[in-house]
Amino acid sequence: MNLAISSRVAVWMMAAGGALAALPAMAAEPKIGVVEFQRLILESPQGKAAMESMRAEFAPRERTLQAQGQAVKAKEEKLQKDGATMSEEQRARAEKELRDGARDFERARGELQDDESARRNEELSRLQRTIVEEVRSYGKAQGYDLILEQTAVLYNASASDITPAVLSALQARGGSAAPKAATPPAKPPSK
């Protein structure tokens, strides 16, 4: 019976020893970083290039729409100013032209807004993929266990904010959209 107890104690001690040996590995604090995704979108060269590209793409249509809106406004002002002196037929024609012009303007404005929205969504999706890949690459290169987005965090010590370092990595890549291998140029502030 003593032999059975001592072998159980020996097995228990070996198991406890193994658990104690693994304890430092389990007790090591994970390396956690926080990133401001919106800041990366707005301040990265890739984000700025996407916004500038969209502005350039839609500027001609916006100018045309602006001119169309001014023409409608001019017709409205002319009708208000001269409406009292117009014949019934002239007034009816001017009102119809004003309604048709306003309808065309609203349709063109709606189409422009829809096109801009669709294009913005495409660019934002592409930019998000680029930024996520850069954050992942940076996290792997720097040995992070977890990187959270700032809006999902209730408290964050500034030492865990890696946004400036990831922004530097994105700036090092310039306006290119394709992710590169992770060798970030800057290290995050130490904890």
- pLDDT tens sequence across 118-147: 999 999 999 999 999 999 999 999 999 999
The pLDDT assigned to 160 comes to 82
The pLDDT assigned to 112 comes to 96
Q: Is residue 63 situated within a structural domain? A: yes
Nearest to 131 by CA among 48, 55, 30, 31: 48
The pLDDT assigned to 156 comes to 76
Residue type at position 114 = D
The pLDDT assigned to 48 comes to 94
Report the distance separating Cα 33 and Cα 139, nearest Å.
8
Element (H, E) at 101: helix 88-142
Question: How far are the Cα atoms of 11, 50, 73 from residue 53, in angstroms, in the given order?
Answer: 69, 5, 30
The pLDDT assigned to 176 comes to 55
The pLDDT assigned to 174 comes to 77
- Name which residue leads in pLDDT, 70 or 163: 70
**How many degrees, rounded to 5, is the angle at CA 186 between CA 183 and CA 145?**
65
The pLDDT tens digits of the residues spanning 47-94 come to 999 999 999 999 999 999 999 999 999 999 988 998 888 899 999 999
The pLDDT assigned to 30 comes to 87
Phi and psi at residue 137, to the nearest 5°: -60, -45
The pLDDT assigned to 175 comes to 62
Structure token pair of residue 154:
């209730």
Do 95 and 140 lie in a common domain?
yes
- In which domain, by residue range, is 5 found? 1-28
Do 12 and 75 lie in a common domain?
no
Q: Is residue 181 situated within a structural domain? A: no
The pLDDT assigned to 118 comes to 96
Q: Is residue 168 situated within a structural domain? A: yes
Mean pLDDT, all residues of the chain? 81
- Name which residue leads in pLDDT, 95 or 5: 95
pLDDT at 10 over 80: no
pLDDT at 44 over 90: yes
Q: Is residue 49 situated within a structural domain? A: yes
Question: How far are the Cα atoms of 20, 154, 187 from residue 92, in angstroms, in the given order?
Answer: 93, 63, 71
Do 15 and 59 lie in a common domain?
no
Number of domains in the chain: 2
